[in-house]
Amino acid sequence: MHKEFLKFQLSKDKMNELKGGAVYACKCSNSTEIFVVAQDTVAGAVGEAMQWCGDNSVECVPGF
């Protein structure tokens, strides 16, 4: 469980991006890999995640 938690810790760069926003855990439909996106809104998080996923659909949930 501790190892699972550690992989979701944010880097200093991601923490600096927050500036009042929120953190979302996102994944592409064709992958099991989860990545962290810091944005002000869910729509912003999905938009950024779509750039990573290309033509595949994306799913984001509040991360923390």
The helix or strand, by DSSP H or E, that contains position 22, with its residue range, turns out to be: strand 22-28
pLDDT at position 39 is 85
Opening angle at CA 20, ends 16 and 26, nearest 5 = 75
pLDDT over 70 at 59, yes or no = yes
pLDDT at position 1 is 42
For the chain, the C-alpha Rg in angstroms (whole number) is 12
**Per-residue pLDDT tens over the stretch 7-55:** 666 666 666 665 567 888 899 999 889 989 888 888 888 888 899 898 7
